[in-house]
Amino acid sequence: MHAIEIEGLSKSYSVGFLKKQLRPALKGLTLAVNAGETFGFLGPNGAGKTTTLKLLMGLIFPTAGSATILGKPYHDPDVRKRIGFLPEQPYFYDYLSAPEVLDYYGRLSGLSASTRKQRVPELLHQVGLGDVGNKQLRKFSKGMLQRVGIAQAIVHDPEVVFLDEPMSGLDPLGRHEIRELIQGLKDAGKTVFFSTHILSDAEALCDRVAVVHKGELRGVGVMKDLRSGGGDKSEVIWEGAAALQVAQRFVLDSHVTGELVRATVKSTDLDSLLELLRQQRARLVSVTPLHGTLEEYFLAKTSEQEPARV
């Protein structure tokens, strides 16, 4: 079953002094997202990611096309009760405390007073804000605000969660925390649709990705296929150049600096190589999985020459 179905969705803005010129921001987007799937919506800045999310949230109106969420038109009030949304770089009422903000959004989403009373402290604990008390949001760090953002998006326990650049502007620790929260949503069986231009985030979390560029959908790929598409390699670094002679049959590419060897191997050969290195008494320094294919896929799909196709 599809949680989200988008059919020919387009948006153009009037530009120029007399507003007579039309500048397309999204051109005939057709896309389907399965229920329970974590779907990455990738594209460089200005590709049309935020436009798509704003259209689905009913914040702007499409020039053409339609979309359904959970089998109903995206603007249906019933749908709104079953979805959550985190905008890019969100700002909340900074005169409120985190419990007040969540209570307010819970109320707008139709939660009863008793449900809110139980749900809000639970949720604050879940996003790691259990100890903030009644501190106003104006005193929160960016990472804490982003956690409030995720909390408000799921306060009413929605089935589908839309996140617009959820890791944008966060430090590595903040990004890790948000990634964990999204992983939690995924584990809870929610459908997660999130836009990002950070490929490592998409790679870590997504089941499938779509690439948009200049308002056009350039491709949709399954992460598992992309990983196993010949690009799933590992980088192994060890000390003991002599072992390279014996290990040569597993190595795709190597670089030797003194006794230090940096070699690229297929992940399927990794165990054999490590066993061999142990036998050769080489000292293992590191093993790093290399998933270069998403980046390759992204670059191929966003290149100027790439024709628009699904």
Partner 1 sequence: MTERLSAITLNTFREAVRDRVLYNLIVFVLLLLASAPLFSQISIGMERLILVNVGLSSISLFGVLIAIFIGIGLVSKEIEKKTLYTILSRPVRRWEFIVGKYLGLMLTLTVNALLMTLGFYIALFITDRGLHAGDAPLLVSVYFSLLQFLIVTAVTLLFSSFSTPIFSAIFAFALFVIGTFADDLRDFASAAHGLTGLLATGTAYLVPNFSTLNVISRVAHDQRIAGALIIYNSVYALLYSAAVTAAAVLVFERRNLK
74 vs 238 by CB, closer to partner 1? 74
Starting at the earlier edge strand, list the strands of the sheet with 251-257. 251-257, 260-266, 232-239, 283-291
For 110, phi then psi, to 5°, come to 90, 15
Residues that bind partner 1 (CB under 8 A): 13, 54, 57-61, 77-78, 80-81, 83-87, 89-93, 95-96, 104-105, 107-110, 152-153, 156, 162
Tell me the closest approach of the beta carbon of residue 295 to partner 1, in angstroms: 30
Rounded Cα gap, residues 71 and 119, in angstroms: 27
Q: Which is nearer to partner 1, 86 or 132 (CB)?
A: 86
Least distance between partner 1 and beta carbon 110 (Å): 6
Q: How far is the CB of 46 from partner 1 (least distance, A)?
A: 14
Nearest distance from residue 91's CB to partner 1, in Å? 4
Specify the pairing of strand 216-222 against strand 260-266. Answer: unpaired
Helices (H) and strands (E) in the chain, counts: 11, 14
If the CB atoms of residues 39 and 92 are measured against partner 1, the closer one turns out to be 92
Strand partners, 176: none
**Residue 104 structure tokens:** 């307010």
Q: Which is nearer to partner 1, 94 or 180 (CB)?
A: 94
Alpha-helix runs per DSSP H in the chain = 49-56, 77-81, 98-108, 113-126, 142-154, 172-187, 199-205, 223-228, 242-247, 270-279, 293-302
Rounded to whole angstroms, how far apart are CA atoms 149 and 85?
9
Q: Residue 292 gets which letter from DSSP? A: T
In the complex, least distance from residue 44 CB atom to partner 1, rounded to whole angstroms: 20
CB of 22 to partner 1, least distance (A): 13
Closest CB 108 distance from partner 1, rounded Å:
5
Contact criterion met (CB below 8 Å) for 143 and 156: no
Q: Which is nearer to partner 1, 9 or 247 (by Cβ)?
A: 9
Written as one string, the DSSP assignment of 137-181 is GGG--HHHHHHHHHHHHHTT--SEEEEESTTTT--HHHHHHHHHH
Residue 120: CB minimum distance to partner 1, A: 14
Nearer to partner 1, 105 or 194 (CB): 105
- Output helix, strand, coil percentages for the chain, rounded to the nearest 5: 35, 35, 30
Which one, 96 or 241, has the nearer CB to partner 1? 96
- Name the maximum alpha-carbon separation found in the chain: 76
Residue placing its CB nearer to partner 1 in the complex, 81 or 278: 81
